[in-house]
């Protein structure tokens, strides 16, 4: 979840998955809208709203100079959920999974103020493996703001009046048949806001507090099915299970870069964009990461539709308008009217990263709503930085090699992995 940084770094790496690290692990992800009966238009509108909201909160984070600023926990943050369990005895824990943050946290009893959730609220007093972290712990001392009584207590305000307050502790997490001891997490007793069907978040970012860092995992991958195929799960793979199957195409690899102002995020070096055989005349600096931490391109599971720096988006939109000979709909998105219900034949879009080309077929950058007769670009224009969203990542198996600092990808049928 971009910008939701509730704890700082220096959380302990785990040394065990029931005594040894879970080097091989598969978890099935569920899209947040999978249990709702939304139409294609509604799904597109909801995805666009979530993307625009995340854009707003990231821009606030980059421009707000107050040290007390924290980005918002909001009902539209997050895209994919994973099912796990927490505590001994365990209870279900439905979490937003997010490559753009580090924190693992859940709502806790006594629940002074909490948002509605579909499963029982975790009660630390009923778990034999719950252990509050003391004020002297490195994890507590690494927090920007905390209160000790003598447990390490945290309190954060959010830009949209949402907030979370609780205790930093360790606990056992269960992924299917695998249990992981002593995971550092936030136990929130007062949480204002809403978060779809989740009870918290599991961060997969680059900071030490994320799940992959705490487990000491050197690589993970995922393959996302489209949110328009809401009943199909998407695999999240750790360890050797994360490896790509090269039989479906040539593997492409590019360096993961890092922004010192946003160290949790996975940045990519985007050089340009082609549509079909046409290399678009986008200036080289359009997608560059600036010295002040603005700009750049992040790959994120928690953003639905790709957001492109406005100067680049305008050129992409102009090229698409020249290809699609259909009337435009008066809306905030680039949508055309399919008067004859016939979908135009669109060339592939190619994202040119440093050393790698990501080919997006039409289904990965355009949305077809046959019922309403709409044909829309699944991207939005923004200022301050670009994000490769999960709609563009669908049916591409994406591997994060943390040890080597590389991102690799290959076309795949995600429902068959």
Give catalytic residues, as residue numbers.
98, 300
For residues 381 and 52, what is the distance between their CA atoms, to the nearest angstrom?
10
Pair of tokens at residue 64? 């707000």
CA distance 314 to 282: 9
Start-to-end C-alpha separation, the chain: 25
Cα separation, 25 vs 239, in Å, equals 7
Q: Which residues pair with 274 in a beta bridge?
A: 279, 350
Three-state secondary structure of the chain: CCCCCCCCCCCCCCCCCCCCCCCEEEEEEEECCCCCCCCHHHHHHHHHHHHHHHHHHHHHHHHCCCCCCCCCCCCCCCCEEEEEEECCCCEEEEEEEECCCCCEEEEECCCCECCCCCCCCECHHHCCCCEECECCCHHHHCCCCCEECCEEEEEEECCCCCEEEEEEEEEEEEECCEEEEEEEEEEEEEEECCECECCEEEECCCCCCCHHHHHCCCEEEEECCCCCCCCCCEEEEEEHHHCCCHHHCCCEEEECEEECCEEEEEEECEEEEEECCEECCCCHHHHCECCCCCECEEECCCCCCEEEEHHHHHHHHHHHHHHCCCCECCCCCCEEECCCCCCCCCCCEEEEECCEEEEECHHHCEEEECCCCEEEECEEEECCCEEECHHHHCCEEEEEECCCCEEEEEECCHHHC
Q: 113, 103, 51: which is closest to 76 by C-alpha?
A: 51
């Amino acid at each position: 979840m971009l910008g939701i940084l509730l704890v700082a770094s220096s959380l302990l790496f785990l040394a065990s998955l029931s005594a040894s690290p879970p080097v091989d692990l598969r978890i099935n992800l569920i899209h947040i809208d999978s249990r709702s009966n939304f139409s294609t238009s509604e799904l597109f509108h909801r995805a666009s709203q979530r993307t625009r909201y995340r854009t707003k909160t990231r821009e606030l984070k980059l421009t707000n100079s107050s040290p007390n600023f924290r980005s918002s926990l909001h009902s539209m943050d997050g895209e994919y959920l994973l099912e796990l369990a927490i505590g001994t005895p365990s209870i279900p824990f439905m979490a937003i999974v997010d490559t753009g943050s580090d924190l693992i946290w859940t709502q806790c009893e006594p629940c002074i103020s909490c948002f509605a959730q579909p499963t029982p609220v975790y009660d630390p007093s009923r778990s034999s493996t719950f252990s509050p972290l003391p004020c002297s712990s490195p994890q507590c001392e690494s927090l920007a703001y905390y209160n000790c009584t003598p447990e390490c207590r945290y309190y954060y305000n959010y830009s949209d009046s949402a907030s979370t307050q609780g205790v930093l502790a360790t606990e056992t997490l269960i992924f299917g048949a695998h249990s992981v001891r002593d995971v550092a997490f936030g136990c929130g007793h007062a949480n204002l806001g809403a978060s779809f069907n989740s009870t918290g978040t599991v961060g997969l970012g680059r900071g030490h507090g994320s799940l992959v860092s705490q487990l000491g995992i050197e690589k993970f991958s995922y393959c996302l099915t489209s949110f328009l195929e809401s009943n199909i799960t998407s695999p999240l793979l750790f360890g050797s299970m994360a490896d790509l199957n090269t039989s479906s195409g040539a593997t492409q690899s590019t360096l993961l870069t890092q922004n010192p102002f946003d160290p949790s995020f996975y940045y990519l070096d985007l050089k340009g964009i082609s549509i079909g055989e046409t290399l678009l005349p986008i200036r080289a600096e359009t997608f560059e990461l600036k010295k002040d931490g603005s700009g750049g391109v992040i790959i994120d599971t928690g953003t639905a539709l790709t957001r492109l720096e406005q100067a680049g988006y305008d050129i992409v939109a102009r090229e698409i308008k020249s290809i699609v000979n259909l009337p435009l709909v008066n809306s905030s998105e680039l949508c055309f009217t399919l008067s004859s219900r016939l979908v135009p034949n669109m060339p592939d879009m190619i994202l040119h990263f440093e050393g790698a080309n990501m080919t997006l077929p039409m289904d990965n950058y355009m949305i077809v709503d046959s019922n309403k007769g709409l044909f829309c670009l699944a991207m939005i224009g923004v200022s301050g930085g670009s994000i490769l969203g999960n709609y563009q990542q669908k049916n591409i198996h994406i591997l994060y090699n943390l040890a080597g600092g590389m991102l690799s990808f290959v076309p795949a049928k995600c429902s068959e992995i």
